[in-house]
Chain A
């Protein structure tokens, strides 16, 4: 695909993504309705759980590396509460398992 065509696709995807990011702020620019205030309080919890499922959506029958690495992240995080440590250790374990399998 030529550079010019590629750039047009970049601009379209960028515009659509930005549009979706802006909609709520445009729709509720005056005063935030009570139900949006409520969603604003509870959605962060639901959305992060949804994102985890989203990240793991293509995990098939060989789910052991994902399962064990997630477990390590959970245990480490409950124990040390250090995000960098949890991520680094979890990713290292995962890479080790899938590259040596």
Chain B
């Protein structure tokens, strides 16, 4: 693997490092405040590796949740990952063996945002590894310093929103057609208004898929 490739992947992963440092610290601090030790945080960050899922699970740990309720919640919360997989099936075709297993396992929101337009297997693998290491480091560090340090970190989770907004802008400036972006935005906002913040994601995914097929002719005409 060439050095410039490693540097390229590392440089691209820096925004995720900031986002994960912030979010991971927040998660670690939260778990520490609930009295969970660093071992649980570490196993979550290695085995689950999904910020949203881990925050939701932190809530479930505090209550009396049944195993099936936990599985069902996980299914709802993580359903969007199917979408990422669908758009990476062809791009990850040239990756094999354990590497392939890993890049699929490590396909988080943030990693997806970096690899979704790349066709370079090494790049995708490196970005996945870098991001995972930031997440593990951030959450463990947060858990360790959680008891010791008190600081006002309210609002720091906006870094993830900012990351996604800047990626949207970047995509918008590079796109041949704006129909897919506008479809995603409109369908999500409408579903949010209809179904509310806790239930809108799955209807939105279905609506986006249907609309993208409805506009297929128009999109493929503009997309030359």
Contact A17-B168, Cβ < 8 Å, known A24-B86, A47-B87, A57-B197: no
Chain A: CB-nearest residue to B64: A1
Chain B: CB-nearest residue to A82: B166
7 contacts between A and B (CB under 8 A): A14-B47, A22-B105, A47-B184, A49-B185, A51-B113, A53-B192, A55-B160
Is B82 part of the contact surface with A, judged by Cβ < 8 Å?
Answer: yes
Does the CB pair B71–A77 fall under 8 Å? Answer: no
Q: Which of B1-9, B88-96, B133-141, B142-150 contacts A (4 or more CB under 8 A)?
A: B88-96
What is the interface residue range for chain B against chain A? 35 or more
B15-58 interface with A by 8 A CB criterion = 15, 18-19, 22, 36-37, 39-40, 43-44, 47-50, 53, 57
Q: Which 10 A-B pairs have the closest CB atoms?
A: A46-B184, A24-B85, A49-B184, A45-B180, A16-B74, A53-B188, A90-B162, A95-B155, A44-B116, A14-B47
Does the CB pair A47–B60 fall under 8 Å? Answer: no
Q: How many A-B residue pairs have CB under 8 A?
A: 256
B159 CB, nearest partner CB in chain A, Å: 4
Does the CB pair B161–A56 fall under 8 Å? Answer: yes
Kindly list chain B residues whose C-beta atoms are within 8 Å of the C-beta of A54.
Answer: 80, 188, 201
